[in-house]
Chain A
Amino acid sequence: GDSVTQMEGPVTLSEEAFLTINCTYTATGYPSLFWYVQYPGEGLQLLLKATKADDKGSNKGFEATYRKETTSFHLEKGSVQVSDSAVYFCALSDSGNEKLTFGTGTRLTIIP
């Protein structure tokens, strides 16, 4: 079945540091890939997505590239801010399937 594996947290970085959160997936079809973010006390919200190989999703300075050859969708940001502190979830939606499969989440804390 489908699965998503993302790097264990928590991750703590200083403000303006470079961020990478790794995500790899297993899917039977041609999935769409997503990153969701959850701020404290809130529900998840879509951060970015990519629907086919080599697509790059981007939003709020975050980027992730759909790499079919390595089955990966790593999240990156060049210079993090304290306001980026949140839990980040990688997810996939396999073709024709209305259910999303989520990773376990990575908690990110940015210190001033």
Chain B
Amino acid sequence: NAGVTQTPKFQVLKTGQSMTLQCAQDMNHNSMYWYRQDPGMGLRLIYYSASEGTTDKGEVPNGYNVSRLNKREFSLRLESAAPSQTSVYFCATLSPAETQYFGPGTRLLVL
């Protein structure tokens, strides 16, 4: 039982490059989330998905797109990376008991 997994663990991009962050869960949870974590700002919600086939914007969606491919997978895409997107990205799910389960994070550096 792996819980929530994220790939890659670490990535360096140049400004303007694109990439997709992958997230998968094996807990059969309906809701999935993408957050970014920056020093002094806590966690900020980028996008979330309440169920397969639905996605909604969070607090900071600009510059990102998401795809809920199926119940297990929720990917985050940066079409044209900017230095302001340097951050640590966390994927999470929500259990029926309102507990969020987080992946280990992806550390992204945009030069």
Contacts and interface: CB of A to CB of B under 8 A. Distances in A.
Interface of A: 32, 34, 36, 41-46, 49, 51, 89, 93, 98-100, 102-105
B61 interface: no
Interface residues of B, number: 22
Contact of A43 (B41, B48, B94, B104): B104
Given A99-B48, A99-B58, A43 B102 contact: yes
Interface of B: 4, 31, 33, 40-43, 45, 48, 50, 58, 90, 92, 94, 98-105
Instruction: Pick the most buried of B31, B58, B98, B100: most chain A CB atoms within 10 A of its CB.
Output: B100
28 contacts: A32-B98, A36-B100, A41-B104, A42-B104, A42-B105, A43-B90, A43-B92, A43-B103, A43-B105, A44-B90, A44-B92, A45-B101, A45-B102, A46-B100, A49-B98, A89-B42, A89-B43, A93-B98, A98-B48, A98-B94, A100-B94, A102-B42, A102-B43, A103-B42, A104-B41, A104-B42, A105-B42, A105-B43
Contact of A49 (B42, B50, B99, B101): B99
A98 B103 contact: no
Chain B contact surface mostly: strand
A44 B42 contact: no
B99 A46 contact: yes
A32 to B, nearest CB: 5
Contacts of A103: 42
B96 to A, nearest CB: 11
A89 B4 CA distance: 19
A46 B98 CA distance: 10
The 10 closest A-B pairs by CB, nearest first: A43-B102, A104-B42, A102-B43, A44-B102, A102-B42, A46-B99, A105-B42, A43-B104, A93-B98, A98-B31
